Structure 1
Amino acid sequence: MQDTQGMSRERLSRIERFIDEHYVAPGKLPGALVQVWRRGALALNSVVGMADRERQVPLAEDSIFRIYSMTKPITSVAIMMLVEECRIALDDPVSKYIPAWENLGVFTGGFMESFQTRPPARPMLVVDLLRHTSGLTYGFQQNSNVDAAYRKLKLGELATAGTLDEMVEKLATVPLEFSPGEAWNYSVATDVLGYLVGKVSGMPFDAFLKLRIFDPLGMADTGFHVPAHKADRFCACYAIGALGSKVISPRGPMLQDDPQSSPYLQPPGFLSGGGGLVSTAADYMRFARMLLNGGELDGVRLLGPKTVALMTANHLPGGVDLPRLSRSMFSEATYEGVGFGLGFATTITPASTLMPGSAGDFFWGGAASTFFWVDPSEDLIGLFLTQLLPSSAYPVRRQLRTMVYSAITDPGPGR
């Protein structure tokens, strides 16, 4: 087989066989879609398995997936578009836009009804929301009395029975895990960014995304719900055993969200910038290509190249990697050699990751095991879409990156 875009066709073909033989055929994943973009064209476009195992609906190239936390980079691009317009600044205090947060303290002890706090060393800034150094958390972390308060306030349930405004209001009653900038903790921060996009732009968050990002880029199938005329393309979502458990059911993955009765079939009250979008491979690849091209695609510019470079740099205080700063029990990244930018993880020391890659490649994933990465030095994008919770079930992301890089025969200047 001849090479394509500086990649071995024979080695690329291994990827589909591997995913099928190790994941889809044994029933670990219902189906999987893999795309590799390099040097201006798709080098690999693989679709295997089922979109809906119960009804035996094959996965298709235009299937619609829940992308969960792959929503976060899109929300981050939206806020950075407003930063470029000087309508908001990275060093603005968040309380400038959410006055009720001005006196948020840092947890020192106690419980929901009797929290003890101290003043933060400095105010929470907009940049803290982008890089997860805000002091906010997720209720599912189950790591502290603060995330226990999130669960008591049912913040996680607002996604199906609440609004973004309600979440912001309730967060004013809970202290921060730590003083902003002192640690990294995966959190609801990107949902708060979605709130800020709406407040600063003067239009609903979903309307901003459609008008300023989705329509200009031609992302016709991306949104916060699946319209009725597209419902036949919507994938089922599965979970290993009880949701959140790593104990594998003897029957294999269990149906977690039926595409014929899913909440995603109706517009949500809660517009989650942290995890609420659905999308397709074609749409998300266009978004990733825009980032690879420095903020522009097919004559449409969303961001300047220097802004994209700023977003994909490591913004962790002191330039350290995540293990030096993380308090999170969960994220969509492995830690060693990995920093965090403004909406993405970024590789700072490839050798420490024990995976092939490049300094400056950036990436993120979603709760249902979806994943993407962009490697500017290799002019490369990898995209993996499936529907299995939790994302930590199998090492498929690591394996996919390894196999994609092993297929490169003509490396870029980064070698």
Structure 2
Amino acid sequence: MIPTGHSKGFVRTRLDRLRTVLARHVGPDGVPGLVALVARGDETHVEALGERTIGGAPVTRDTVFRISSMTKAVTAVAALMLVEECRLRLDEPVDELLPELANRRVLRRVDGPLDDTVPAHRPITVRDLLTFTMGTGLLMAPPDSHPILQAMAVLDLGQGPPQPADVPAPNEWLPRLGTLPLMHQPGERWLYNTGADVLGVLVARASGQPFERFLGERLFGPLGMGSTGFSVAPDRLDRFTTCYWTDPATGARAVYDEAAGGQWATPPAFPSGGSGLVSTVDDFLAFSRMLLDGGRCTGERILSRASVELLSSDQLTPEQKAASELVPGFFDTRGWGYGVSVVTRQTELGHPLYQYGWDGGLGSSWAIDPVDQVIGIILTTRAFTSPVAPPVVQDFWTSAYQALGD
């Protein structure tokens, strides 16, 4: 049982420090714009700084951002809703609903030729998709370094920085994935990202409706998340940001995706369960409050408390962690639940024990602290340059926790 603290809110002068620290990161050499939120009990504090587009309108609280990998937690919640309805079972093979992934072959060596394989020891299960242990995922290696990575790129499977306009529809995407062997045996180790995209396809097939419609009707509608989706409606484009990144060739800041006419301006063929959503800070606050309240929202139960506890607890075995890596030392202090990382050993001020959440590589970070009842969200317009969060995100979490009133 996770202990629960007694909320005493925030210290006003220390919240002022939060704004001062974030403001240092906003400007020509840093983040063009951001919205940051910390909430505890009935107290919510929001900072909106910078511009939606360089030289354009200022960021406001209702600005829409690409939340990329924060999408993974939403996808996990959707799958757990179907588990609760007994349309999915955690340890059941996915073969019936996803026959493209039946009878898997597995590479003898992850860097070996695609035809050097052995049979999978067992089928992929729903739990494997939720915990990212299906046997395939992103490797922290150059995309041309292994034949399997080259093949994933050629097939346009979208397993790199989000490019929704380039990925085919689910009923074409999954057969393409199914032509490839797994990188490792199912259940052997944690591999990032791909499980969430497969999970989105599974939710669609299990529910009998497109993934985006299921989320809209079952989750976003009840939670009042009216600005969250896989694209930005024309009447909301004036609230949408331009996304910037660091050009790997020049090292200079460049446009990754425009607001109007960009890749999120029209609905994608493939609604990515791993990285496809856009949202606002208040929409994601509503999602977070539902989880922090054990699955309830204004009296309506979205998810059971038991499901929230599963989602937010470390689901990996010591053996799986030992075989896995995101960045060096990641699993020394963290585990993985369903679509979220979980802090298992506190070594940083802003990341206490039991905190769970995840970052979005296009410039965002989000977490829930069930002990001190803290929700933190930062959405920015500049993509990460590595799996390690940039200074603006690190300083946000430090500043949020130094502002606690107890």
- TM-score (norm: length of structure 2): 0.91
Once the two structures are TM-superposed, the CA of residue 349 in structure 1 deviates from its matched residue by 1.2
Summarize the alignment of residues 11-410 of structure 1 with structure 2, pairs less than 5 Å apart: 11-21=14-24, 23-42=25-44, 44-53=45-54, 55-109=55-109, 114-138=114-138, 141=141, 142=143, 144-156=146-158, 159-161=164-166, 162-242=168-248, 248-249=251-252, 253-318=253-318, 322=321, 324-328=322-326, 334-350=330-346, 353-390=347-384, 392=386, 394-410=390-406
Once the two structures are TM-superposed, the CA of residue 113 in structure 1 deviates from its matched residue by 7.7
Relative distance call for 1:355 and 1:177 in structure 2 (3 A) is: farther
Relative distance call for 1:82 and 1:362 in structure 2 (3 A) is: same
Find the aligned partners of 2:114 and 2:17 in 1 and give their Cα distance: 57
Find the aligned partners of 1:234 and 1:121 in 2 and give their Cα distance: 46
Q: Does structure 1 conserve the Cα–Cα contact (< 8 Å) formed by 2:107 and 2:114? A: no
- Residue 10 of structure 1 is matched in structure 2 by 13
SS across alignment from 2:238: helix
Find the aligned partners of 1:58 and 1:361 in 2 and give their Cα distance: 32
Runs of at least 4 residues of structure 1 off by over 6 A?
A: 110-113
Once the two structures are TM-superposed, the CA of residue 111 in structure 1 deviates from its matched residue by 8.3
Cα deviation, 1:264-319, whole Å, max 9, x if unaligned, reads: 11111111111111111110110011111111111221101111011111000238
What's the Cα RMSD here?
Answer: 2.3
Q: Does structure 2 conserve the Cα–Cα contact (< 8 Å) formed by 1:11 and 1:406? A: yes
SS across alignment from 2:73: helix
Query: Which letter maps to 2:173?
Result: M
- Residue 413 of structure 1 is matched in structure 2 by none
Q: Does structure 1 conserve the Cα–Cα contact (< 8 Å) formed by 2:289 and 2:297? A: yes
Q: How many residues align?
A: 392
Find the aligned partners of 2:361 and 2:221 in 1 and give their Cα distance: 26
Once the two structures are TM-superposed, the CA of residue 122 in structure 1 deviates from its matched residue by 2.4
Find the aligned partners of 2:326 and 2:330 in 1 and give their Cα distance: 12
- TM-score (norm: length of structure 1): 0.89
Q: Does structure 2 conserve the Cα–Cα contact (< 8 Å) formed by 1:239 and 1:254? A: yes
Work out which structure has the larger RCO, using CA pairs closer than 8 Å and 6 or more positions apart in sequence: 2
Most deviating of 132-141 and 374-383: 132-141
Q: Does structure 1 conserve the Cα–Cα contact (< 8 Å) formed by 2:207 and 2:214? A: yes
Most deviating of 371-380 and 117-126: 117-126
- Residue 3 of structure 2 is matched in structure 1 by none
Find the aligned partners of 2:180 and 2:49 in 1 and give their Cα distance: 45
Unaligned runs of 5+ in 2: 1-6
Q: Does structure 2 conserve the Cα–Cα contact (< 8 Å) formed by 1:238 and 1:388? A: yes
Relative distance call for 1:265 and 1:325 in structure 2 (3 A) is: same
Q: Does structure 1 conserve the Cα–Cα contact (< 8 Å) formed by 2:366 and 2:378? A: yes
- Residue 4 of structure 2 is matched in structure 1 by none
Query: Which letter maps to 2:374?
Result: L
Query: Which letter maps to 1:145?
Result: P
Cα deviation, 1:339-397, whole Å, max 9, x if unaligned, reads: 000111001111xx334433211010111120100001001100000121235372332
Most deviating of 362-371 and 158-167: 158-167
